[in-house]
Every structure is written in C-alpha cells, then in structure tokens.
Amino acid sequence: MYGLATCSVVEHLYISDWDNDLLHAVPLDTNDEDEDSESWTVANQPAGLSLTLAGPPNVLVACHGAGKIQEWSPEGILIREIQLSDELKLVWHALQLTDAELLVSHEGSQHRVVVISSDDGQELHSCAQVHSVLMYLNTYL
C-alpha cells in the first residue's frame, strides 16, 4: 500500500497498491451489504492519489514506475492517461489545479514540483524550491 484518498461524494476510500499495480476502492459505509470493495489494474507502481475538482470526483493516480498519471472514474473506468517526459517520469504525486493544469512532484536529476498541462503532460512551470511553489500557488488562492 502506498497512497490514500477519500471521497465523501461517492463514499469511498481509495488505496494504491504499489506491489500489485492495483487501485482499491473500499466503500466507507460498512452497513451497505450490497457494495463490495473493488480493485482495478493500473500502470506500474501506483504511488500518490488525489481527486479531481469536478464532481463526482475522479481519482488521479501517479504511476511512478510507468511515468504516467492516470485518471479513473468512481466506477473503475480509465478516463485518460497522461504520459510524462523522461525528466518527469518518476512521479510521486499529482494534484489538479485547473481543468488544464496539474501540480506534480517527481524525482530524477532534480527532486522538484512542476506544473504540467493536463492535455499532453508538458511542463509549464518548474518550482525547484518550496518558496517558488508557494508564490505560484498564490495565483490560485
């Protein structure tokens, strides 16, 4: 297990399973006997999880070993897959900033946070230090 995310809209806990390349969806309502846990096969080494901004939220999965960010619906349907450049491929986490931008943490020749296009994964802005991340994020707050 690696990453966790909860969604109060669909009432699920999402768990990334690094060793088995799975995303687990566990219902939060333990009294609902009709709903079982589900697991979906994702790209190699799923790490951080987050939810998209639109409702009902989809799950963003940072796939460290595959160099991809995958977006999954609450029903387990792969919505899209964003292939990252070689420099960004060791991704740890991704957060949606807007419909067009994701904030991504990664390792590589530099450990840093970057803003990428959610369309094609191209780097739009680099934040090599925490101070520059805060300055960039203040534009969204």
Does residue 138 surpass a pLDDT of 90? no
Backbone angles phi, psi at 126, to 5 degrees: -110, 135
pTM for the full predicted model? 0.87
> Per-residue pLDDT tens for 59-100?
999 999 999 999 999 999 999 999 999 989 999 999 999 999
The answer to whether the beta carbons of residues 62 and 46 sit under 8 Å apart is: yes
- pLDDT confidence of residue 117: 96
Domains and CATH numbers, the chain: 4-137 (2.130.10.10)
Split at pLDDT 50, 70, 90, the class of 50 is: very high
